């Protein structure tokens, strides 16, 4: 028969473990926290000299950045690779790996490239040997890739292999066999011969930026321009300007014809999209993405310690029961 002193000992031990388990999992300080959507951007532009003062240059990347600011983006998480000296595999990889370590599953990341297709994206960055897998390894459901370059579709098409297992929007301004055309300052000497107001840079990027902030692109009148609406609104004007360039400059037309094999219905962008059909870069839309529930440090400790404490508690109960039977 147990003595009074001994019989009180084991219930005391059980009581301590029960209180411990309750404390680990239910202390008010362990209440859940939520994290709202953050937006991250990498702007790569070969035609800006460097990123020392990134906003001081007239280039496609800065034009698109301005469009993003007009739809509610801040530049808190913008990073840049401007000019040949900054555009290296190591630098781009480093920026992508920083995103892999930083972003959460409800964040939005945008990679924007304006560059020579073969002279930069293929020959210098060797994109198709590594980029697609690194891009898709960024741990968010909302990834956007925009490329304006010659042969841009060549760098988009490999993503087709991942469309059933990943979520992203990717657009290349031209098909793999097509050339992109850009206007440089020399093109603005004399009278501007085209039907749209004068501009500098690659044609498609310019009209992507304009369409993003153009209310006329909002065809379903929901006060935002989705990526699909941006594409639908910009493409007719892009094709029109390319056609006018071919008419104004037969030499360029011959080069494009010899490369692509056609001038009709030019260009033919490559788009891969398995995000929501209404997905938009507008901040008002992105704020509808549900916040992420995150664990506090105390909760993380509880997740680890709680089950261990439970096993110890059960083990002690078993030991107590066995000893009582003796």
| Model confidence pLDDT, tens digit, residues 130-158 | 999 999 999 999 999 999 999 999 999 99
Q: Is residue 296 part of a domain?
A: no
Cβ count within 10 A of residue 253: 17
| Model confidence pLDDT, tens digit, residues 94-114 | 999 999 999 999 999 999 999
Any idea what the CATH number is for the domain that residue 120 is in? 3.40.50.1460
Q: Is residue 321 part of a domain?
A: no
Q: Quick check: 207 pLDDT over 80?
A: yes
Percent of the chain exceeding pLDDT 90 equals: 73
Q: List residues bridging with 189 in a β-sheet.
A: none
Q: Is residue 311 part of a domain?
A: no
- Structurally, how many domains does the chain consist of? 1
Distance CA 151, CA 157 (A): 11
User: 6: pLDDT confidence band, cut at 50, 70 and 90?
Assistant: very low
Q: Is residue 300 part of a domain?
A: no
What are the structure tokens assigned to 137, written together? 């390894």
Q: Is residue 30 part of a domain?
A: no
Q: Is residue 119 part of a domain?
A: yes
| 155 touches 128 (CB < 8 A) | yes
User: 1: pLDDT confidence band, cut at 50, 70 and 90?
Assistant: very low
| 231 touches 277 (CB < 8 A) | no
Q: Which pLDDT score, from 0 to 100, does residue 96 have?
A: 98
| Model confidence pLDDT, tens digit, residues 175-190 | 999 999 999 887 666 8
Q: Which pLDDT score, from 0 to 100, does residue 218 have?
A: 98
| 229 touches 218 (CB < 8 A) | yes
| Model confidence pLDDT, tens digit, residues 213-232 | 999 999 999 999 999 999 99
What's the chain look like in SS3? CCCHHHHHHHHHHHHHHHHHHHHHHHCHHHCCEEECCCEEEEEEECCCCCCCCHHHCCCHHHHHHHHHHHCCCCCCCEEEEECCCCCCHHHHHHHHHHHHHHCCCCCEEEEEEECCHHHHHHCCCCHHHCHHHHHHCCCCCEEEEEEECCCCHHHHHHHHHHCCCCCCEEEECCCCCCCCCEECHHHHCCCCCCCCCCCCEEHHHHHHHHHHCCHHHCCCCCCCCEHHHHHHHHHHHHHHHHHHHHHHCHHHHHHHHHHHCCCCCCCCCEEEECCCCCCECCHHHHCCCCCEEECCHHHHHHHHHHHHHHHHHHHHHHHHHHHHHC
Distance CA 109, CA 79 (A): 11
Q: What are the C-alpha distances in Å from 78 to residues 42, 52, 215, 230?
A: 6, 13, 25, 22
User: 36: pLDDT confidence band, cut at 50, 70 and 90?
Assistant: confident
Q: Is residue 88 part of a domain?
A: yes
Predicted TM-score (pTM) of this structure: 0.82
- Average the pLDDT over each of 32-36, 108-112, 115-119, 322-326 and give the range with the smallest value: 322-326
Q: Is residue 324 part of a domain?
A: no
What are the structure tokens assigned to 304, written together? 């680890």
- The domain of 97 spans 36-286
| 313 touches 17 (CB < 8 A) | yes
What are the structure tokens assigned to 317, written together? 């109960």
| 142 touches 166 (CB < 8 A) | no
What are the structure tokens assigned to 65, written together? 């950045």
Percent of the chain exceeding pLDDT 70 equals: 79
């Amino acid at each position: 028969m147990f003595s009074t002193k001994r019989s009180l000992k084991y219930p005391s031990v059980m009581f301590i473990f029960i209180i411990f388990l309750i404390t680990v999992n239910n202390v008010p300080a362990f209440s859940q926290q939520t994290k709202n959507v953050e937006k991250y951007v990498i702007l790569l532009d070969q035609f800006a000299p460097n990123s020392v003062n990134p906003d001081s240059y007239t280039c496609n990347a800065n034009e698109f950045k301005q469009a993003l600011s007009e739809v509610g983006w801040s530049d808190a998480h913008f990073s840049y690779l401007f000019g040949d000296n900054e555009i290296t595999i190591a630098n781009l990889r480093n920026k992508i790996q920083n995103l892999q370590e930083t972003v959460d599953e409800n964040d939005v990341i945008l990679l924007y490239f304006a560059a020579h297709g073969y002279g930069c994206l293929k020959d210098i960055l060797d994109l198709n040997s590594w980029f697609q897998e690194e891009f898709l390894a960024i741990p968010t459901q909302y990834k956007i890739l925009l490329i304006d370059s010659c042969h841009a579709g060549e760098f988009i098409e490999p993503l087709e292999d991942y469309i059933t297992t990943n979520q992203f929007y990717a657009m290349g301004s031209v098909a793999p066999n097509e050339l992109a055309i850009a206007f440089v300052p020399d093109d603005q000497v004399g009278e501007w011969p085209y039907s749209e107001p004068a501009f500098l840079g690659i044609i498609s990027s310019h009209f992507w930026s304009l369409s993003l902030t153009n209310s006329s692109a909002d065809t379903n009148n929901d006060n935002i321009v989705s990526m699909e609406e941006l594409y639908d609104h910009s493409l007719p004007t892009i094709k029109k300007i390319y056609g006018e360039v071919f008419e104004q400059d037969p030499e360029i037309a011959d080069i494009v014809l010899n490369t692509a094999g056609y001038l009709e219905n030019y260009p033919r962008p490559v788009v891969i999209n398995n995000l929501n059909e209404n997905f938009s870069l507008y901040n008002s839309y992105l704020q509808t993405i549900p916040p992420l529930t995150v664990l506090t440090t105390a909760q993380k400790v509880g997740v680890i310690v709680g089950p261990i404490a439970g096993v110890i508690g059960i083990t002690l109960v078993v030991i107590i029961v066995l000893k009582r039977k003796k």
